[in-house]
Amino acid sequence: AVSDTVDLARNILSGSVRRIPLLSYQIEYIQKIPVMPVDQISTHYYIRFFAKDRPGVLSTISGILGENEISIKSVQQIGRKTNGSVPLVMLTHRAREADVLQALAKINSLDVVSHQPFLIRIEDENIQD
């Protein structure tokens, strides 16, 4: 690979061998870093639902989110179907993952939701609440 050739050339120029350790890090500096439990993660979320297109559905879904301390940053319904489900996309303000998962379980059990909600974490420190 090109990176191996570049590393070899740098070793020759510097007059040293294994200038960069074999695994690209020095084993003596490895530390165990505690990993936060997933349910304690607090970040923004993208959530997509497929919900029946009728009055009160958005109110029901947003009510469940509110009961679980989840604030909606934006919401968009894509399309319109009189007798069917439409994608409903929400972005949240910062929320705990445990709260989000609890709310989604409740929302998923509603008869107005036709598919399992789709969830993506948005991990960007530059997002303004």
pTM score of the predicted model: 0.71
Q: Identify the residue whose tokens are 């969830």.
A: 119
Strand-pairing partners, residue 118, are 48
What is the sign of the dihedral through the CA atoms of 68, 96, 103 and 35? negative
Q: Could you tell me if 31 and 53 are in contact, meaning their C-beta atoms sit under 8 angstroms apart?
A: no
Whether the predicted pLDDT of 48 surpasses 80: yes
Q: Which CATH number fits domain 40-122: 3.30.70.260, 1.10.10.60, 3.40.50.1100, 3.40.80.10?
A: 3.30.70.260
Q: Identify the residue whose tokens are 């319109």.
A: 80
Q: Domain ranges in the chain?
A: 1-31, 40-122
Name the band, by pLDDT with cuts 50, 70 and 90, for residue 26: confident
